Structure 1
Amino acid sequence: MRTPISVGLIAVLTAVTVVFGPGASAGRPATADGLADLPALSPVLACADVPGLDLTGVTDAPVTIRSATVVGGNCEVQGSIAPADTIVLRLPVNGWTQRYVQTGCGGLCGNARISYPQAATCPVIADGTVASATTDMGHQGQNDGSWAAGNPQAQIDFAYRGVHVTAQVAKAVITRFYGHAPRYSYFIGCSDGGREALMEAQRHPHDFDGIAAGAPANNMVVQNTFHHGWNVVTNKDAAGNFILLADKLPLIHQAVLDACDRLDGVADGVLDDPRQCRFDPATLICTAGQAASTCLSTAEAGVVRRLHDGAVDAQGRRLEVAIAHEWGSELEWTLFVPTAQGQTVASENFALSYLRYLRDPNQADPAYQLSDLDFTVESFWRVVQSSSYMAAMDPDLSAFQRGGGKLVLWHGWNDQHISPQTTLAYYDAMRQTMGQRTVDGFAKLFLFPGMAHCGGGAGPNTFDVLTPVMAWVESGRTPSAIVASTVADGTVTRTRPVYAYPAVARYDGTGSTDDAGNFVPVTPRHQPADDYTWVGQRLYSHGYQTWCTAYGTDLVCRPADTWLTRRQRVTA
């Protein structure tokens, strides 16, 4: 979660956050931010009366409102949707501008907390005039995955139901509370929240008018098995000891910068597009007499290359999208590279949480170890086939697009958890499926140089991604750039524009390179040759996802698994 920033800083950032393209106006009066000028409405119901609302039939299960209390200018509502989805709503009591914003969860969720990833400076968020809600997605606590054992309904709620039924209930409560339905509804989330965002666009395309999906874990099955598992096992020797330790990461990172930092025309410690970097870790292998602290062993250099490239089988076939960790992100690799022997790295916890409790939804295996995971094509299809209901990889968003929905995808190039290549691959699959012109009319992708997972990192990482979505929906202003800031101790030290992909920012040669005003958009004539050829590339399809039902302690999904079984035979 991003650290809250001061009101003064909010004012500074809000003034420079969004640049709009020449998209056609929707013909509605708009503010300078591109938002519709909507009158603020007062509640027609007392906050204390919300628990008494009859919400029968609003969704597919009973709804219970446990409490509603005025806190800090909002009616804070807590309740649940059967069987176990906790929901939290925040309803302004001093003026509601007819917008609803639902926020996503992270990790494996388990808590209901309203937060606005990369949206604190959005004007209507900052002034507290939006109604908001979130959910814990059907289970409480236990982010280790054990909540899923013998609980198929919790698995369904986490996969796709919890967010949808929360939207239904929240809109019903809002309508009763203000006597007016939301004029516009939005969803914002990062990481698993980004997966939730795409799951909504794919499975429930009419829930939201606009969606901001950050660093989406849409390929959750592969990410939490082969991706994070590879982060660990490829760094172990035959005795089970780690080969590369974190004390070598600054050395590697500096070598990458020395080789590639100036490729974008500015030496600023950030790679504008890491795909342009052709760094070879073998250049750091120790020569005779060289101090070990200043170089890498052959084994260490091999680990660096394998961590960058990603999981493969013994024949070199890719078990994830190529480039698992971009050059320039090395300082973030402490997620999976330990500081000392004997440590358990975060990637191991992520992988085991999934492999033990979600790999096979009907058979938990708490004793499962990473050594049990086979990096083979046969194992790949067995794992992804069993939990396809968790993935949000359908590239056909035609229903969302036809309904006027707008989507902003965003990802940090230095993301240590989820490769930005997975978002690029999804965006490419959308264009292949729906056509480039159609996709350009309702979806934009922003890639933030130097930014880590959902924030942080060496590059500018504080920005407002929600206002561009709202302005696109409400006044037809297509977002062409988002200005990101580096904030240190409450002070903005650098601003930099990030243009809608495939455009990149280039220094115009005048003034400070820390000032966004001194950069212009350039679309490279020759794009890097992205290679999305991997074992699971067929998963980006309109037939992979399944719908599931809980029967006692068993999860039964439809359609039958024939889709993947067919391809398993072909691919294996």
Structure 2
Amino acid sequence: MRAKRWTTALACAVAILSATLSPAAGSPAAAHGRGPLGAIAPVMDCAAVTGLDLTGVTDAPVTITSAVVSTAGAPAPYCAVQGTIAPANTFVMRLPVQGWTQRYLQTGCGGLCGSSNINYTQADGCAPITDGTIASATTDMGHQGRPDGSWAAGNPQALIDFAYRGVHVTAQVAKAVIQRFYGRSPAYSYFDGCSDGGREALMEAQRYPGDFDGIAAGAPANDLVVQNTFHHAWNVLANRDAAGNPILLAGKLPLIHSAVMAACDGIDGLVDGQLDDPRDCRFDPGRLACRPAQDPATCLSTAEAGVVRRLHDGATTADGVRLEQEIAHEWGSELDWTLFVPAAPGQTTFSENIALSFLRYLAYRNVADPAYQLSDLQFTVESFRRTVRTSDYLAATDPDLSRFARRGGKLVLWHGWSDQHITPQSTLEYYDAMRRTMGGRTVDGFARLYLFPGMAHCAGGLGPDRFDVMSPLMAWVERDTAPSRLVVSRVENGAVTRTRPVFPYPAVARYDGTGSIDDAANFVSYTPRRPSTVGYDWLGHNLYTHGYQATCRVVNGRLVCD
């Protein structure tokens, strides 16, 4: 296994080295007259960065507050830059002080953000990152701290910055600083983010297609509004009895998961503890119903079984109209339902916190209501339409990426099948909407989707969850070599225990019948003959259309959106 891991790392290095030495004809480098990418040294001292005049770089004043040489959190020394973009976007940068390979990588920020920390997502073994030769930056997206969402109250500009402006102006400023520091602009610019960082990635491709050459969008919270209102609120309310107490407690989750795997693990032809495509699983929680005199610890009450079904199926109106995609939580992800299933009565879960934060301060334009409770949210058609209409500037669901594709941009979408936060159905719907809007051949020319069996939100879960998405993206941008399989590893106690390939959707990995099932070399690509019958028949389906997004401005202290 160690030899195979070394081979994967070597492949990464070879791919990046070849891209560095010779841009292919037709690639962005060739199109813009870029030559081979050699290592570049700075043309100014790190401390002098604080004196840069960045007037006119973006739409607001920029101040560099500090610039010092550091080695914190990196394999090589870099110039650590911190600054602000008015009114309140804090950004940080890492500029290699030797051997810069002319690449810029901006990283996303998760949750409701509020902090600026560079975080490389799923770039395990990618040479320019692991050797510290890439310039990078990130932003807090226009506000600091206060994860409860109260930062948005009476602060419409912070909402605009969080929605889309903060990431864009950071890209403008970071590239200007790079140009001054090294005497040349980046040859290639990339964005890498997961969760809300994935939403930020898609927002960039949709609104600002010239900012980045390559974008990796992981588990994107693209439908942020529905996600943080009806989805997370349903996670909590669907598990409450008439008195407001939880019906299902986390102690029952292992029981449920074991039953799911017993019913569905072999559907893909291999009993291996993960579901290659959980949409194929038709598990009925009713099979766990308690029999007379059965120990209740070994079964589900009728009420508990109903909760399990509601959590899997997702939010609906009282008469059954779906308010989110057909599957809210895929079968096989049950052990991570602790995100919203409490261990004991009285425990507040993540789903409750994030839903209240959003509903109180972000969901309704120019309205802040700190006293709002989840029980105030109405699961009706009218309530749904009002909610998504007033916060449409926050969502990144426009599937028309024609401008991004025309300028040679490349997009890699990815999602864990066992994501407990964000349903992979949202990413699937977005990808299918792209193909419907732009045509399959066009999408195949610039985008790929990868779905990782058993992987939870951005990482974790029971399946392999470590991989390198950035090397294939860089090779695609710089050498026009489209990505094929990604090798993903599971690491336990510091040792690799399983590797598997993941192929571009709709292909899946199939065991070839020889050798260890924990070795990626023993799997081949297989495209199912029949597509899944799970569709997108829900009230928000039309949100995944071109023209849905709004653009906002501040007028007399209020948010006004067109």
User: What TM-score comes out, normalization by structure 1 length?
Assistant: 0.93
The Cα shift of 1:95 comes to 1.0
CA distance in 2, matches of 1:209, 1:498: 24
Q: Is 2:342 the partner of 1:344?
A: no
Quick check: 1:485–1:494 contact (8 Å CA) kept in 2? Answer: yes
> What's the secondary structure of 2:192's corresponding residue?
strand
Q: 1:14 is matched by which residue type in structure 2? A: A
Q: Is the 8 A contact 2:124 2:466 kept in 1?
A: no
Does residue 9 of structure 2 align to residue 14 of structure 1? yes
State the SS of the aligned residue for 1:221.
helix
Pairwise CA distance, 1:516? 0.2
Matched, 1:405 2:403: no
**Alpha-carbon separation, structure 1, partners of 2:295 and 2:9:** 49
Equivalent position of 1:38 in the other structure: 37
Q: Which residue of 1 aligns with 2:49?
A: 50
Counterpart CA distance in 2 for 1:132 and 1:11 is 26
Q: Which whole-Å deviations, capped at 9, do the CAs of 1:44-98 have from their partners, x for residues lacking one? A: 0110110111100000000000110001210000000000000101000011000
* SS at structure 2 position matched to 1:389: coil
Q: Aligned partner of 1:51: which letter? A: T
- Are 2:280 and 1:280 aligned? no
Match of 1:179 among 183, 204, 209: 183
CA distance in 2, matches of 1:489, 1:68: 38
- Checking the alignment, whether the CA contact within 8 Å between 1:18 and 1:482 is kept in structure 2 is no
Shift of 1:228: 0.1
Whole-angstrom distance in 1 between the partners of 2:463 and 2:418: 9
Q: Which residue of 2 aligns with 1:544?
A: 548
Matched, 1:144 2:148: yes
> Cα distance, 1:488 vs. partner?
1.4
Structure 2 SS opposite 1:447: strand
The answer to whether residue 335 in structure 2 is matched with residue 331 in structure 1 is yes
CA deviation string 1:19-65 (max 9, x = no partner)? 99xxxx93499xxxxxx962000000110110111100000000000
Counterpart in the other structure of 2:371: 367
In the TM superposition, residue 530 of structure 1 has moved relative to its aligned partner by: 2.5
Gaps of 5+ in 2: 16-22, 28-34, 72-76
Counterpart for residue 248 of structure 2: 244
TM-score (norm 2): 0.94
Report the equivalent of 1:453.
457
Contact kept, 8 Å, 1:17 with 1:484, in 2: the verdict is: no
Matched to 1:55, the amino acid is: L
Is the CA contact 2:12–2:127 (under 8 Å) kept in the aligned structure 1? Answer: no
Mapped pair 1:128 → 2:123:
no
The one-letter code of the counterpart of 1:362 is: N
Confirm or deny: 8 A CA contact 1:335 1:345 kept in the other structure.
yes
Quick one: percent identity of the two aligned structures?
69
Superimposed CA distance per residue, residues 376-399 of structure 1 (whole angstroms, 9 cap, x where no aligned partner): 000001111111000000000000
Choose from 70, 75, 78 the match for 1:74. 78
Deviation at 1:461, TM superposition (A): 0.1
| Corresponding residue SS for 2:252 | helix
Asked whether the 8 Å contact 1:320–1:536 carries over to 2, the reply is yes
Question: What residue number does 1:26 align with?
Answer: 24
Matches within 5 A, 1:153-172: 153-172=157-176
Q: Is 1:433–2:437 an aligned residue pair?
A: yes
Give the equivalent residue in structure 2 for 1:569: none
Q: Which residue in 1 is equivalent to 2:477? A: 473
Give 3-state SS (helix, strand or coil) of 1:388's partner: coil
Encode CA deviations 1:355-386: one digit per residue, 9 max, x unaligned: 00001231100000000000000000111111
Relative contact order, higher structure (CA 8 A, sep 6+): 1
**1:561 — aligned with what?**
none
Deviation per residue, 1:236-267 (Å, 9 max, x gap): 01011111001110000000000010111221
Q: Deviations over 1:450-477 (max 9, x none)?
A: 0000000000000001111111000011
Separation of aligned partners in 1, 2:251 and 2:11: 38
User: For 2:57 and 2:210, how far apart are their aligned partners in 1?
Assistant: 15
Q: Secondary structure at the match of 1:171?
A: helix
Q: Name the aligned partner's letter for residue 435 of structure 1.
A: G
- 1:482-516 deviations in Å (ceiling 9; x for gaps): 10000112211110000000000000000000000
Within 1, Cα distance between the matches of 2:479 and 2:177? 27
1:501 aligns with 2:496: no
Q: Is the 8 A contact 1:460 1:494 kept in 2?
A: yes
Distance 1:13 1:110, change over 3 A: farther
The answer to whether the 8 Å contact 1:460/1:495 transfers is yes
Structure 1, residues 394-445: CA drift from partner, whole Å, max 9, x if none? Answer: 0000000001000000000000000000000000100010001110110000
RMSD across aligned positions (CA)? 1.8
Shift in Å, 1:14: 1.9
Q: 1:216 aligns with which of 220, 241, 246?
A: 220
Contact 2:249 2:344 in 1 (8 A): yes
Q: Distance in 2 between matches of 1:95 and 1:13?
A: 24
Equivalent residue for 2:467, pick from 453, 463, 469: 463
Cα separation, partners in 2 of 1:346 and 1:462, compared to 1, 3 Å: same
Structure 1, unaligned stretches of length 5 or more? 1-6, 30-35, 559-572
> Could you say if the C-alpha distance between residues 145 and 381 of structure 1 is closer, same or farther in structure 2, counting changes exceeding 3 Å?
same
Q: 1:18·1:479 contact (CA, 8 Å) conserved in 2?
A: no
Distance in 1 between residues matched to 2:232 and 2:199, nearest whole Å: 17
In structure 2, what is the Cα distance between the partners aligned to 1:109 and 1:518? 41
Match of residue 195 from structure 1: 199
Give matches, 1:285-304, under 5 Å.
285-304=289-308
Letter in 2 for 1:61: A
Q: Confirm or deny: 8 A CA contact 1:122 1:464 kept in the other structure.
A: yes
Mapping of 1:387-398 within 5 angstroms?
A: 387-398=391-402
Could you say if the C-alpha distance between residues 19 and 239 of structure 1 is closer, same or farther in structure 2, counting changes exceeding 3 Å? Answer: farther
Partners of 1:19 and 1:482 within 8 A in 2? no
Deviation at 1:521, TM superposition (A): 0.3
Runs in 1 of length 4+ with deviation above 4 angstroms? 7-13, 16-20
Whole-Å separation in 2 of the counterparts to 1:37 and 1:213: 27
Question: Which amino acid in the other structure matches residue 421 of structure 2?
Answer: H
Taking the aligned partners of 1:483 and 1:60, their CA distance within structure 2 comes to 42
Question: What letter corresponds to residue 339 of structure 2 in structure 1?
Answer: L
CA–CA distance in 1 between the matches of 2:4 and 2:556?
A: 52
How far apart are the structure 2 equivalents of 1:8 and 1:56?
52
| Aligned counterparts, 1:312-323, within 5 A | 312-323=316-327
What residue in structure 1 maps to residue 122 of structure 2? 118
Post-superposition offset of 1:541: 1.3
**1:528 Cα offset (Å):** 1.0
1:115-150 deviations in Å (ceiling 9; x for gaps)? 101114211101110000000000000111000000
Give the Cα–Cα distance (whole angstroms) in 2 for the partners of residues 411 and 331 of structure 1.
Answer: 18
Task: Count residues with an aligned counterpart.
Answer: 543
Whole-angstrom CA distance in 1 between matches of 2:3 and 2:69 = 26
SS at 2:485's partner residue? strand
* AA of the residue aligned to 1:178: Y
- For residues 291 and 477 of structure 1, the distance between their equivalents in structure 2, rounded to whole angstroms, comes to 58
Contact 2:225 2:391 in 1 (8 A): yes
1:477-488 equivalence runs, <5 A? 477-488=481-492
Secondary structure at the counterpart of residue 91 of structure 2: strand
Report which stretch shifted further, 265-274 or 190-199: 265-274
Contact 1:18/1:468, CA 8 A, preserved across alignment? no
SS of equivalent to 2:253: helix
| Matched AA of 1:409 | L
Deviation at 1:315, TM superposition (A): 1.1
**TM-aligned CA distance change 1:240 to 1:17, over 3 Å:** farther
> Which SS does the other structure have where 2:260 is aligned?
helix
Q: Describe the shift of the 1:18–1:305 C-alpha distance in structure 2 as closer, same or farther (beyond 3 A).
A: farther
- The code of the aligned residue for 1:259 comes to A
